[in-house]
Amino acid sequence: MATCPQGHASGADDYCDVCGTQMAAAPAASTPQPAAPSGGPSGGPSGGPSGESAPTESCPICQTPRAGQFCEVCGHDYSGNGAAVPLPVTGARWEAVTAADRAYYEKVIAEGGPDADRVAFPPYCPERSFGLHGEQVRIGRRSRARNVAPEIDLTGPPEDPGVSHLHAVLLAQPDGSWTVVDPGSSNGTLVNGRPLSVNVPVRIGPGDRIHLGAWTVITIREGTP
């Protein structure tokens, strides 16, 4: 027998069969509530107002929101090691364009180098473009006897007799730039008019001019991808 809120004994458990009052619903089973997050007296994650999320960390260099150990834009290392991850250079293709330089040829002849009186400036020498790919790009003249096949082959025609079989090497750097080194050519190499020391790399960029041989000039350009 159930008892309604008015105190009547009722044979029904939904509505009192004496006064018609709705019977009181049985108390629902209590559901365990999750514990409040610790960290502050008010229950917030970092001691702030309850329900307030922690601020997003940003890169101290470029202010980009953090998404991992390294910044996705500038490569900043959040671990505090002070290192940055080199990001690949995209959007452009480096190339070396070879040609004949009359002014450089006249300078070489005026200085009276070996066999200068027998070296003639080529009446026609079209520009040739060589893409820079891989870890190194060799500059020189092909030689089957010496098993030399440089990526920038200046064998010709026309052929510059002052260029060594392995005259210079372009070396790719981790940041996407390039350096040039003369491993010990017979007649030397100049970058923007300055001679290179043997086996001392020099950084180069778009617009730089590399002179070698009797009349050859190589211009570094940044072309379209």
Give the tens place of pLDDT for each residue, 3-62: 877 777 777 777 776 676 676 654 444 444 545 444 444 444 444 444 455 567 876 655
Mean pLDDT of the chain: 78
Task: Please tell me the distance from the alpha carbon of residue 138 to that of residue 152, in angstroms, as a whole number.
Answer: 6
Listed in order, the ranges of the chain carrying CATH 2.60.200.20 are 93-223
pLDDT digits (tens, 9 = 90+) for 59-79: 665 566 777 766 554 555 666
Q: How high is the pLDDT of residue 44? A: 43
Confidence of residue 113 (pLDDT cuts 50, 70, 90): low
Q: How high is the pLDDT of residue 28? A: 42
Q: How high is the pLDDT of residue 70? A: 62
**How confident is the model over 178-185, as a mean pLDDT?**
96
Closest CA to 216 of 111, 78, 119: 119
* Beta carbons of 10 and 24 less than 8 angstroms apart: no
Task: Please tell me the distance from the alpha carbon of residue 28 to that of residue 52, in angstroms, as a whole number.
Answer: 31
pTM over 0.75: no
Q: What is the CATH number of domain 93-223?
A: 2.60.200.20
